[in-house]
Amino acid sequence: MSEKNKILFIAPYKKMADMVVEVAKQFNIDVKVETALMEEAVKLAKKAEKYGVEIIISRGATSAAIKKECSLPIVEIYENNLEILRAIQEALKYGKNLALIWYNEIPYKEDFLYTLLQVDVRFYKYETRDEIENLVNMAIKEKADVIIGGAYTVHFAEKLGKKGVIIGCDRESILWTLRQAQSIVNIKKEEEIKRKRIETIIQNVHDGIIAVDQKGVITTFNPMAEAIMKLKASDVIGKHAKDVIPNTKLYEVFEGEDQFDQLQDVGSAIISTNRVKMKIKDEIVGAVATFQDVTKIQQLEQKIRQKLYSKGHVAHYKFDDIVGKSPALMSAKNIAKKFAQTDETILILGESGTGKEMFAQSIHNESLRRNCPFVAVNCAELSESLFESELFGYEEGAFTGAKRGGKEGLFLLAHEGTIFLDEISELPLPLQTAILRVIQEKTIRPVGSDKMIPVDVRIIAASNKNLKKMVEEGRFRQDLFYRLNVLTIRIPSLKERKSDIPELIKSISMEYNHNLHFTDETLDMLINYDWPGNVRELLNIMKRLMVLYGNSTIKRENLLDAMPEVFGFYNDNQANSSLALEGTLAEIIRNSIEKALKITKGNQSQAAKMLGVSRTFLWRKLRQM
């Protein structure tokens, strides 16, 4: 018997077996067909179990005998009641007194058959083989001319010298029965797949899983539960949870609500657990606990963080790291926090040095993607020739010098996290098209590949340029601008939040472990300066002062000496050269430059020397005037 046969059809006689073979072949049904009765049929059924047969088809006394001795499910051959009438008609050829011995209730009454066929038929119903033999003997004593019934009934009657007629089976009945059996095999296969899938999940998940029945007896105890609880499944399955699990609270859900994110000491570990009821309709049939070792969770999180840090794809800053309480800054932070809760594209606008990347990192760390990569890309630093290979990766052999095995692009590295596209205004138009495609389709195509790869990435872009003006000038794609300009945050410049300067100075000093102090005069000088380089420029000045003066108090002369390109207008030599020092710092700078150029008759080199600044500084200031 082949191991591929899942259905065994045990026919009681050869004519039926031949018909089954024909029908199965015609309708492409995989079935093994045997001819046997009673004890021989039972032997075949037992043997079939060893070869992977899942269902047996038989009928009558043979079917009943198989059920007693074999655990496989039995499908009874479908009865077409017309076959009984055909058998009666056939029996009339041999006599008028007929006995019909059958294992089911006869669908016709005796008086109906007499009226229909003018024949006297006595019905006899049996349940076991012994009853068949007794009923055959009884029918013979009651002067039956012909015995009608199944194969064994007829076989026994003919042994006693009495004519017998078998109740047959037509092709339609056989086909219906085969399809019923095939349907059961398919359902069993689907159930086995489901069971195996669930078993595989339970055995391989990182969570411990314990299930109990409605009495609290353990039915499931997976390998992770063994590892966390320091118990063997073989020692606990079949026992009450209270008897084997320290401090178990699984039984509580039977009488109360399901429980989630509960901390529990189980002796061998502290676990974080969920406990839920199992229900079929409204009946509670058990409960399940899933749990993890809290220490292992912490270790795994640490491992993930270390891996991300090693790749450099981590957001370090949070909103608390952005120093300042000015209304302009607080408004920007509040807007950014709200935007962080969405997955929409964000556009951050602000002058150079205002902290756009700090905001981007803070948004990432405030979002649901906080545990995934944060990849920062400076669009101005990527050459057009390498842009697509860096952002989208490439296949092996995509171009000369391509890395063996190919390379993942930055978008793939940022999968499920955030990609920060800084200075996006610097992208050439063809590359803007590539970014637009990613935003629209959420897929990338590595260089040299014909496959599109889906990516789940939150995009944050930043610019210090007026993108709308660039769109009007034809230097930035309008469709990309509107794709980026979904949620916009404008970061205030330092001159718009000068009240934050004292706090920024204190924060920078603490960060670098210095204790710089400023006189009221020098602090006013710093506050009154316009800071074209914003916070980055303030940071640079603070670093220089810390190097030059350590933890000293910064006086006017210290600031003038350390920052001649900024505060050189205050030095005494310039004061004696009739350069006016009245008004705001910006006005002083402008007036001083104008007077110096007038004195030197427009000679920028001499004017810079007179002012005590570099030519580059003077040239930059002239452009700003």
What φ, ψ does residue 9 adopt, rounded to 5°?
A: -100, 110
Q: Which residue in this structure is represented by tokens 């005069």?
A: 521
Q: How confident is the model at residue 1 (pLDDT cuts 50, 70, 90)?
A: very low
**Do 619 and 517 lie in a common domain?**
yes
Q: What is the pLDDT of residues 498-529, one digit of tens each?
A: 999 999 999 998 888 888 888 888 888 888 88
Domain boundary among 293, 323, 354: 293
Q: What is the pLDDT of residues 18-39, one digit of tens each?
A: 999 999 999 999 999 999 988 8
Check pLDDT > 50 for residue 401: no
Classify residue 137: in a domain, yes or no.
yes
**Do 41 and 135 lie in a common domain?**
no
Q: How confident is the model at residue 337 (pLDDT cuts 50, 70, 90)?
A: very high
What is the CATH number for 49? 3.40.50.2300
Determine the pLDDT at residue 52. 82
CA-to-CA distance for 363 and 361, rounded, in angstroms?
5
What is the CATH number for 109? 3.40.50.10660
Domain boundary among 185, 215, 247: 185
Cβ 209 vs Cβ 202: under 8 Å: yes
The predicted model gives 183-199 an average pLDDT of: 90
What is the CATH number for 449? 3.40.50.300
446 SS3 class: coil
Classify residue 393: in a domain, yes or no.
yes
**Do 73 and 129 lie in a common domain?**
no
Check pLDDT > 50 for residue 572: no
**Do 548 and 445 lie in a common domain?**
no
**Do 358 and 488 lie in a common domain?**
yes
What 307-313 contacts at long range (C-beta under 8 Å, 24+ apart), as own/partner pairs, is: 308/373, 311/373, 311/413, 313/373, 313/374, 313/375, 313/413, 313/414, 313/417
Cβ 10 vs Cβ 66: under 8 Å: yes
153 SS3 class: helix
CA-to-CA distance for 393 and 386, rounded, in angstroms?
10
**Do 463 and 511 lie in a common domain?**
no
CA-to-CA distance for 82 and 102, rounded, in angstroms?
14
Domain boundary among 153, 185, 217: 185
Determine the pLDDT at residue 402. 45
Classify residue 307: in a domain, yes or no.
no
DSSP string for residues in 346-409 = EEEE--TTS-HHHHHHHHHHHSTTTTS-EEEEEGGGS-HHHHHHHHHEE-TTSSTTPPTT-EE-
CA-to-CA distance for 146 and 154, rounded, in angstroms?
9
Check pLDDT > 80 for residue 616: no
Number of domains in the chain: 5
Tokens linked to 9: 């059809």
**Do 139 and 218 lie in a common domain?**
no
Classify residue 418: in a domain, yes or no.
yes
Q: Which residue in this structure is represented by tokens 């095939």?
A: 182
Classify residue 197: in a domain, yes or no.
no
Q: Which of 105-119, 277-291, 329-343, 438-452 has the lowest mean pLDDT?
A: 105-119
Pick the more confident residue, 139 or 272: 139
Determine the pLDDT at residue 492. 96
Check pLDDT > 70 for residue 582: no
Q: Among residues 298, 278, 297, 300, which one has the least CA distance to residue 289?
A: 278
Classify residue 192: in a domain, yes or no.
no
Cβ 30 vs Cβ 5: under 8 Å: yes
Q: What percent of the chain has pLDDT over 70?
A: 86
**Do 73 and 85 lie in a common domain?**
no
**Do 252 and 137 lie in a common domain?**
no
Q: How confident is the model at residue 400 (pLDDT cuts 50, 70, 90)?
A: very low
Check pLDDT > 90 for residue 315: no
Q: pTM here?
A: 0.47
**Do 486 and 510 lie in a common domain?**
no
What is the CATH number for 260? 3.30.450.20
Determine the pLDDT at residue 338. 96
Q: Among residues 90, 91, 121, which one has the least CA distance to residue 106?
A: 121
Mean pLDDT of the chain: 83
Three-state SS string across 521-534, please? HHHHHHHHCCCCCH
Domain assignment of residue 29, given as a range: 7-78+173-185
Determine the pLDDT at residue 415. 86
Classify residue 300: in a domain, yes or no.
no
> How buried is 111 (Cβ within 10 angstroms: 0-12 exposed, 13-18 middle, 19+ buried)?
exposed
Determine the pLDDT at residue 111. 62
**Do 178 and 71 lie in a common domain?**
yes
**Do 501 and 619 lie in a common domain?**
yes
Determine the pLDDT at residue 272. 84
Check pLDDT > 70 for residue 405: no
Check pLDDT > 70 for residue 483: yes
Check pLDDT > 50 for residue 570: no
Classify residue 488: in a domain, yes or no.
yes
The predicted model gives 79-97 an average pLDDT of: 85
Q: What is the pLDDT of residues 530-560, one digit of tens each?
A: 888 899 989 888 888 887 887 788 888 888 7
Sequence letter at residue 488:
T
Q: How confident is the model at residue 571 (pLDDT cuts 50, 70, 90)?
A: very low
CA distances from 519 to 145, 172, 523, 538, 539 (A): 132, 107, 6, 17, 18
